[in-house]
Amino acid sequence: MRVTVKLFASLRKGRFDIREFDLPEDAKTLDVLKLTGIPESEAALIFINNLHAELDAILNDGDTLALFPPVGGG
């Protein structure tokens, strides 16, 4: 199956902005993190098709996965 992965802010550094991946059926968000070398602690916000998701969320063909780092502010 084909999934589009979008990285934001500091997650892009040394990686990519947007990339399509061919993944096996029943792949999860955590599988994409492992594939891209992103530590779990760096993916604070996860969205699949603009809906909040968790690390164990199963991806489907055509999904768009967006990953954001922890947000700082003050």
C-alpha torsion 47→53→57→59, nearest 10: -30
Helix (H) or strand (E) holding 46: strand 45-48
Location of structure tokens 């809906």? 51
Q: What domains sit in the chain, N to C, each tagged with a CATH number?
A: 2-68 (3.10.20.30)
pLDDT in tens, 9-34: 999 999 999 999 999 999 999 999 99
pLDDT tier for residue 71 given thresholds of 50, 70 and 90? confident
